Amino acid sequence: MAFSGAALLAALPLALAQSSSSAAVTPIPSGLPFPDTTYPNATVPYAVAGAQTNQTSPPSYPAPWGEGLGDWADAYQQARAFVSQLTLTEKVNLTTGVGWQGEQCVGNNGAIPRLAFKSMCLQDSPLGVRFGDFATAQPAGVTIAATWDRSLFYLRGLNMGEEHRDKGVDIFLGPVVGPLGRAPAGGRNWEGFSPDPYLSGVAVAETVRGVQDANVIACTKHYILNEQEHFRQGPPPDYLTEALSSNIDDKTMHELYLWPFVDAVRAGTGAMMCSYQQINNSYGCQNSYTMNHLLKNELGFQGFILSDWDAQHSGVASALAGLDQTMPGDESFDSGTAYWGGNLTIAVLNGTIPQWRIDDMAVRIMAAYYYVDRPGHEVDTNFDSWTQDTFGFQHFFASEDYRQVNWHVDVQQNHGQDARNFAAKGTVLLKNTGGLPLTGQEKLTAVFGSDAAENQYGPNGCPDRGCDNGTLAMGWGSGTANFPYLITPLEAIKAEVRSHRGSVESVIDDYAYGQITALSRRVAQPLVGGACIVFANSDAGEGYIVVDYNEGDRNNLTLWHNGDDLINAVAAECNNTIVVMHTVGPVLVNAWYENPNITAIVWAGIPGQESGNAITDILYGKVNPGGKTPFTWGDSRGSYGSDLLYQTNNGVNAPQDNFENGVFIDYRAFDRLGETPVYEFGFGLSYTTFEYSNLQVQSQQAGAYVPTSGQTPPAPTYGSVGDAADFVYPTDFHRVEAYIYPFINSTNLRQSSGDPAYGVNVSYPAGAFDDGAQPYLAAGSNVAPGGNQQLYDLMFTITADVTNTGDVVGDEVPQLYLSLGGPDEPAVVLRGFERLTVQPGETAQFQAQLCRRDLSNWDVVSQNWVITSYPKTIYVGSSSRKLPLQQALDIPAGVAAPAPASSSAAASGSAAVSSSAAASGSAAASSSAAASGSAAASSSAAASSSVAVSGSVAAQSSAGAVTQISDGQIQAPSAAPTTIVTQISDGQIQAAASSSTA
């Protein structure tokens, strides 16, 4: 806690939010309005695919208030009761982080001591407890996706949830479905699951359920279109004034990138993390269309939206656009200033933010807290993110309150064995002409490559795994965790070979070609015999770390450390060469994969701490490989249909990344371009063989699809705002340096703000203050989260027989693909899968179900899902290109298109948006009446502050002007300070760097 003594802590009625004394702030230009947002077609609320740069995102107001839909009802009842007891500053504390390194976790909001409510702990990562000790380092998302096993998706989530819970974490910053993986070189693709939205949707839903069944809030991230590391945060490089803009069309958004987020919402994810980059030139954490319209309105999301770390660019604007919590709370790391904190208190007091909005923020946060039953499973935080020492400072940045900060609690349970199983079952056998499985009786086993051995600095020797030394078991960045141990392939193979009294030698220098050639030649001698196992990798991570000139994103799709040369050197001498790759995604294997001396190729993914044991299980046949590749392997980079933006293309302004490829990414792009993959999506071999037969399709009785109609209740409020005098800093209050508090400096709000432009009369977004009943969207829901619930009506049940025709037990993953028909649709899209264990000579039945959503396309005119009249065909097989079974679907009449909607968007609940910037489905309330010309002022301490002018103004700086952007937002000043602390995702920091540092 930030108070100087236990007695004061117990006595104070208010908790923690912003520090520092009064300071002058740069005035905001008077009369600065929200710009009108126009676009070519009023029924298409996005840029069309292939459009030019500088697209815009339509405004959508007011921010929908949570209702407690579906199984959230009880949680909302408890949350409303709790929030009804709170003062304004206590509500602000729930919404605002205490600042970077202000407490023990990568993120903490303020506590409420009066009600014995402790600060919430938010912690990475999506594969383990980041910065924690004695916790499991699980396989990455891309590896668990390769298992294609729902039960393992869930179990991994449960294991991670249990470990975060027992370390004292309240909010688990994961799982990841953004990036989805639009381009194979994307730096953080490995944190997520697959570029296929259906596979990713199943994986994220099961992970969310697992995490939250352990009574920890899951925070699905990064919402949305965060598909590359280059330019995602704007400066640096210092010549950029804005972050990259991902420009997308409406259909692609719904059918591809939003798809897995819908599954996370349906699974009950308690939180969503908005992303750094812009979306059609509006920052992700102040984009009212993606947050208000899509997530909270159309999808009926009942939890709360929190910002990525320092992804907030405005005060009131972000609040009105739907942001509910800001992390880590300060405007920039350890600045001591904040867009919210005291700013938010002032904004509510002067009416710039309506009370119902701050109440909804607080209720959403607390509803997620009750939804996972945190009160019954709270554990005090027993680790520290900033030191591994037992004793340290509670407030690390301020170096205050020295005490015990680490209890070194071992939370691993038996999860290491699970991690080994996950990694083995996520291993994909890509080629096998007799090299595998090994018997253990090989006379000489030779192991090659640095990827087989340990990092010379130790498994945790590079901060956030920011290097590519030794075996690759984890990418780099905030999506990492500390290894409690790391079993390398070399030590596991040695143990296996020695158990059979064989010989094993190794060369782990990737460039020692003389020794490599000599050892390879020895293995191939007629009286020796054995196996040459070559390990190679390809790494990637988050952009705040640069490894071998790769700024997070990969520069190319080749193996690192000249892996191709290493493999060819071995294969030139050894006629039984087995290649094992640890990679974050696909690599180009053209240079060697067809070499007849290469008898097996294995993709071992990003396997976590049990790497060596898992790959040995596969190589020696203890586990029959059953993994399937969750992405496509091509023979050129151009085959993928889309790529990253490595160079700026818009002067000093936001680089424009146009998603011109639409829904055609990965295997969909290969199919559209007529490219033949090396290994297609869903491909994977086994030590046995399978046959498919007896496809059966049973039509289910589904009713007509009716658009949702009706209206929400009016916005509720809880308690009263109170007077400014109630929220002034208490006398003799000790302010921890750079800590963010909710208090104000005086009862005179103008003076407390320190802003000469306080009270300037500006325009507000239409409908932003409207607290009346709002129409539901036609594609939305008034019943449960996830959109119109009739989308999940069962329409077909499909079965097929899978027979093991070999002589060993094995796992097979039958896959169901669907052709939606139509000239602009993918050839096939994944719509079902199941991992089956089949005994030799036996037959198992595969079953999948198709719901209305699976068969539908997004219609940009009606703003709803429709089943088109084009013929639909299903295919079942072992991969996206091996589909021996097929059958046409007979869509029953009357269930395809939704019933006709009213031409009025407001009446029908459709999302048609007029070009006049009126929020779709919301009344266009008079902004001047709502605001009376008041402007939320910046915090007393903010030299660079969020002065809230009609909810639109971002931080002010004497160095730069405020720049308008779309969606009624005004972005941060263009000029960067001379020296900065480079902020990176989800609670991580890079050393202080000049503004020119990338």
| 803-826 per-position pLDDT tens digit | 999 999 999 999 999 999 998 999
Written as six digits, the tokens of 690 are 């399978």
What pLDDT is attached to residue 529?
87
Written as six digits, the tokens of 44 are 């298409």
The string of pLDDT tens digits covering residues 313-357 is 999 999 999 999 999 999 999 999 999 999 999 999 999 999 999
- What type of residue sits at position 46? Y
pTM for this prediction = 0.88
- Identify which of 152, 93, 12, 988 has the alpha carbon closest to the alpha carbon of residue 544: 988
What pLDDT is attached to residue 904?
32
Provide Rg for the chain, Cα atoms.
28
The string of pLDDT tens digits covering residues 179-189 is 999 999 999 99
The string of pLDDT tens digits covering residues 751-784 is 887 667 777 777 889 999 999 999 999 999 999 9
Residue 895 pLDDT class (50, 70, 90 cuts): confident
Residue pair 819/828 in contact by the 8 Å Cβ criterion: yes
The string of pLDDT tens digits covering residues 422-471 is 999 999 999 999 999 999 999 999 999 999 999 999 999 999 999 999 99
Look at 49-63, 353-367, 504-518 and tell me which has the smallest mean pLDDT. Answer: 49-63
**Which letter does DSSP use for residue 728 in this model?**
B
Q: Which residues does 833 contact at the CB level (< 8 Å), separation at least 6?
A: 148, 199, 202, 813, 814, 815, 816, 848
Question: What value does the mean pLDDT take over residues 582-605?
Answer: 98
The string of pLDDT tens digits covering residues 537-557 is 999 999 999 999 999 999 999
Give the count of alpha carbons within 13 A of 953, CB side only.
37
Residue 853 pLDDT class (50, 70, 90 cuts): very high
What pLDDT is attached to residue 524?
94
Judge whether residue 12 has pLDDT over 90: no
Helix/strand/coil for 416: helix
Judge whether residue 508 has pLDDT over 60: yes
Cα gap 935→641, rounded to integer Å: 47
Residue 993 pLDDT class (50, 70, 90 cuts): very low
The distance of Cα 479 from the centroid of its chain, to the nearest Å, equals 10
Dihedral (Cα; 876, 878, 881, 884), 10-degree rounding? -50
What pLDDT is attached to residue 914?
27
Q: Which residues does 110 contact at the CB level (< 8 Å), separation at least 6?
A: 15, 16, 17, 92, 93, 94, 96, 98, 119, 740, 741, 742
What pLDDT is attached to residue 18?
25
Judge whether residue 955 has pLDDT over 70: no
What pLDDT is attached to residue 894?
74
State the angle between helix axes of 342-349 and 88-95 in degrees (0 to 180), rounded to the nearest 10.
Answer: 130
What pLDDT is attached to residue 219?
98
Look at 17-26, 89-98, 708-717 and tell me which has the smallest mean pLDDT. Answer: 17-26
Look at 342-346, 868-872, 933-937 and tell me which has the smallest mean pLDDT. Answer: 933-937
Judge whether residue 919 has pLDDT over 90: no
What count of other Cβ atoms lies within 10 Å of the Cβ of residue 112?
A: 23
Residue pair 785/302 in contact by the 8 Å Cβ criterion: yes
The string of pLDDT tens digits covering residues 594-645 is 999 999 999 999 999 999 999 999 999 999 999 999 999 999 999 999 999 9
Cα gap 381→389, rounded to integer Å: 15
Cα gap 976→473, rounded to integer Å: 37
What pLDDT is attached to residue 898?
67
The string of pLDDT tens digits covering residues 381-395 is 999 999 999 999 999
Residue 965 pLDDT class (50, 70, 90 cuts): very low
Mean pLDDT score of the chain: 86
Where are the extended beta strands (E) located within 335-410?
391-395, 400-404
Judge whether residue 937 has pLDDT over 70: no
Residue pair 385/131 in contact by the 8 Å Cβ criterion: yes
The distance of Cα 883 from the centroid of its chain, to the nearest Å, equals 32
The string of pLDDT tens digits covering residues 24-77 is 222 222 222 222 222 222 223 333 333 345 788 899 999 999 999 999 999 999
Written as six digits, the tokens of 243 are 């972050």
The string of pLDDT tens digits covering residues 196-237 is 999 999 999 999 999 999 999 999 999 999 999 999 987 666
Look at the alpha carbons of 467, 468, 470, 473 in this order and tell me if their dihedral is positive or negative. positive
Judge whether residue 796 has pLDDT over 60: yes
**Alpha-helical segments (H) within 681-806:** 749-753
- Identify which of 446, 354, 340, 528 has the alpha carbon closest to the alpha carbon of residue 954: 340
Cα gap 813→837, rounded to integer Å: 9
Look at 323-337, 664-678, 743-757 and tell me which has the smallest mean pLDDT. Answer: 743-757
Q: Is 811 a catalytic residue?
A: no
Give the count of alpha carbons within 13 A of 406, CB side only.
16
Catalytic residue among 133, 308, 360, 468: 308
What pLDDT is attached to residue 273?
98
